[in-house]
Structure 1
Amino acid sequence: MQLRDDFATHISELNNPIERPYSQPIDKTLLNDNEDDISYLNREIHNINPDYLTFFPAYFWYFYFVIGWVYFSVFMFSLVFIDEIFRLKTSNIPLLLLDIFILLLMFIVFCVPLVLILYQFITKKPFRTQYYFLKQQQKIAYYYRPLWKIRQPYVLKIVDYKDVHPDLHQDKGNRAYTPLNLYVADPETGDITHHLKLEDYNVNPRVQWAFIRTYMESPADDLPIDNEICQAYPTDTSKSLFACADIVFRKNGILPSNHSGGDQIMVFIIGSIIALGNLFQANHYQCTKRAILHPDVQKLLTWDGQNNPYPIQPITDEAELAFEGRNWEVNVRWVCIILINAGLFVWAVVAYNT
């Protein structure tokens, strides 16, 4: 069984099932009356063409708690370490050894989050996957690995779209968190065999499902695509962590989409405060496990790269340079942001100890 204990294990245990593929007409009012949700989905699109659709991997709400823990722990460690390091009693060897042991213990406890994140920046180990909705083949392809089995390799899963049971699963700890979940069950026993966790709580799950259904079941003209904001970012081939971090700002309209280096002041103000969080999210984009790179999925693709009926904003020359790591405006901006961010911590520690 592939599911965590807090999710259903039998199709009859689904929390709030909604209409299945092709079971009834798509509610077009969901696409016409929810402009904010449609705009959000347009920004989240990674690829869309006659053959497959993907979104950026959804972000968990606990991401902010993780970053908060890192900032708090590093800050507290810096304050205590610098204050205590000058209080060591070199004349009393046992007390000196005890103080050193306590400092090492504090370092392990407080700085493990930062060390792990820096390790992730370097190794780029995938910890989330993308789901590929294959329109021509009417299948969904993705990688799966149990959350608690970090050392276990990802396994490719390919399921039939028509076998999906969509469900609005409400999180027990947060009643406002209701993401869209897709299940596939054994037709004879009803036991769930596949669980696709889209887990995007930033959008109405019913709108998200109507959007997916429209792509999979309807002509291209029926899908509400805004070519002004819908852009296929080449994060899967990017060599630049900084260019991926720019996506965070560009999706929110803070930066222009052509990576031209505009609106620098706003980026410095915002980016220098939450730089670590944005870089962590950029790393998340860079190292996502992608089913489309698997040979078995590539065999299912039929689009030849020509005549895409879905309007996508073209990648600009500046953006191509940025994702290759050769856009100096992007690189200099993020280096300055990191230096400002580090400077804020140094200033805080010095101010505390003076």
Structure 2
Amino acid sequence: MQLRDDFATHISELHNPIDRPYTASIDKSLLESTEDIEHLNKEIHDVNPDYLTFLPAYFWVFYFAIGWVYFSSFMFLILSTNGLLNLQSSNLPLLLLDIFIALFIFIPSCTPLILLLYQFITKKPFRTQYYFLKKEQKIAYYYRPFWKFRQPYELKIVDYKDVRPDLHQDPYNRAYTPLNLYVADPNTGDITHHLKLEDYRVNPRVQWAFIRTYMESPADELPVDAQFCEAYPADTSKSLFACADIIYRKNGIIPSNHSGGGQIMIFIIGSIIALGNLFQANHYQCTKRAILHPDVSKLLTWDGQDNPYPIQPITDEAELAFEGSNWEVNVRWVCIILINASLFAWAVVAYNA
């Protein structure tokens, strides 16, 4: 069983089930929701005759707050005990006690930030990516319980026709109603698979209609707009900085060709929330690709030619960026990090003055 306690464990316990695959006609009026469809186009990672994937949903503000609040609290406590450390430096037992206190403060205060930096280096995947295999009519994904972070990811493959979609309202956040997909044992009704798409920024009914249209309809019925839909080689990129640019390109702040436009907005916004942007970039960069698993690769039938879905190609500048060789992208993000570090140092000093 791979479910959180606040989700259903039996198919009869679903909160708000909606139409299952192939059981009813797709409500195409949902696909006329301009804002939601534009959002889904920006979230598309791959779309072709054989499989569809989205960039994994992600909450980054929490981790950004960790980096500032925890480290700032550490700096505040260290500076507040600075006089004590100097005062007792001639007394060895008290000096050792002060050092012990400083370490006791350091460990809980800086561990979250250290873990973030460790994640930047190791690039370990920590969220699930789902692959909707159209020709095979299956969904493939890697799964690992969140609390078993040392356990390796396990490949899961389920039949699309067995999926039971449900709009599950989070009991801790009534405004958050994500789309959940369940697969149940046909004999007992016990849920055997739980796919959590977790994109709170889009109407879940629109998201399900979009997925159903891809899996059940001809290519020309899927509302894909090349103006917004771009192939992001995020999980194969060598550049953390190029992945960080995805955030700004999806919001239309900078052009997708990495030509240099919109730089001032990145400096203004990025210099303040650089840690959050880089952590989200790391999240994109280390997504586990189930599609590369041998058991999934043998299901693929598309040869990479004649994609009927319009998707914005990767430009030469973008290709250099994702290879880590675009100096403009690299210099910009180095400057942003330096500005962010300077602002942080100034804020800590001003706060403790």
- The amino acid that maps onto 1:237 is T
Map of 1:193 onto structure 2: 192
Provide the C-alpha distance between the structure 1 equivalents of 2:67 and 2:349, rounded to a whole number of angstroms: 20
5 Å matches for 1:77-96?
Answer: 77-88=74-85, 89-96=88-95
- The amino acid that maps onto 1:93 is L
The alpha-carbon deviation at position 87 of structure 1 amounts to 3.1
Provide the C-alpha distance between the structure 1 equivalents of 2:48 and 2:67, rounded to a whole number of angstroms: 39
Map of 2:180 onto structure 1: 181
Map of 2:236 onto structure 1: 237
Provide the C-alpha distance between the structure 2 equivalents of 1:68 and 1:345, rounded to a whole number of angstroms: 12
Provide the C-alpha distance between the structure 1 equivalents of 2:336 and 2:276, rounded to a whole number of angstroms: 12
Provide the C-alpha distance between the structure 1 equivalents of 2:252 and 2:31, rounded to a whole number of angstroms: 22
Map of 2:67 onto structure 1: 70
2:235 and 2:288 in contact (8 A); partners too: no
- The amino acid that maps onto 2:172 is G
Query: Cα deviations across residues 299-335 of structure 1 (Å, max 9, x unaligned)?
Result: 0000011110100011100000000000000000000
Query: Cα deviations across residues 200-251 of structure 1 (Å, max 9, x unaligned)?
Result: 1110000000000000000111111110110011112100000000001110
Map of 1:269 onto structure 2: 268
The alpha-carbon deviation at position 79 of structure 1 amounts to 2.8
The alpha-carbon deviation at position 85 of structure 1 amounts to 2.9
2:41 and 2:229 in contact (8 A); partners too: yes
2:142 and 2:290 in contact (8 A); partners too: yes
Deviates more, 1:18-27 or 1:97-106: 97-106
Provide the C-alpha distance between the structure 1 equivalents of 2:18 and 2:352, rounded to a whole number of angstroms: 59
The alpha-carbon deviation at position 353 of structure 1 amounts to 5.0
Provide the C-alpha distance between the structure 1 equivalents of 2:222 and 2:285, rounded to a whole number of angstroms: 27
Query: Cα deviations across residues 241-294 of structure 1 (Å, max 9, x unaligned)?
Result: 000000011101111111112221111110010000000000000111111010
Q: SS of the residue aligned with 1:200? A: coil
User: RMSD in angstroms over aligned alpha carbons?
Assistant: 1.1
The alpha-carbon deviation at position 147 of structure 1 amounts to 1.4
1:114 aligns with 2:113: yes
- The amino acid that maps onto 1:16 is N
Name the CA shift for 1:172/1:93 in 2 (closer, same or farther; >3 Å): same
Map of 1:35 onto structure 2: 34
Map of 2:5 onto structure 1: 5
Provide the C-alpha distance between the structure 2 equivalents of 1:246 and 1:257, rounded to a whole number of angstroms: 9
- The amino acid that maps onto 2:258 is H
Provide the C-alpha distance between the structure 1 equivalents of 2:344 and 2:308, rounded to a whole number of angstroms: 50
The alpha-carbon deviation at position 182 of structure 1 amounts to 0.4
Q: SS of the residue aligned with 2:209? A: helix
**Identity value in percent:** 78
The alpha-carbon deviation at position 340 of structure 1 amounts to 0.3
1:297 aligns with 2:296: yes
Provide the C-alpha distance between the structure 2 equivalents of 1:149 and 1:346, rounded to a whole number of angstroms: 36
The alpha-carbon deviation at position 167 of structure 1 amounts to 0.4
Count of matched residue pairs: 351
Provide the C-alpha distance between the structure 2 equivalents of 1:325 and 1:80, rounded to a whole number of angstroms: 39
Provide the C-alpha distance between the structure 2 equivalents of 1:334 and 1:197, rounded to a whole number of angstroms: 32
Give the TM-score of the pair, scaled to structure 2. 0.97
In structure 1, list runs of 5 or more residues that go unmatched.
none
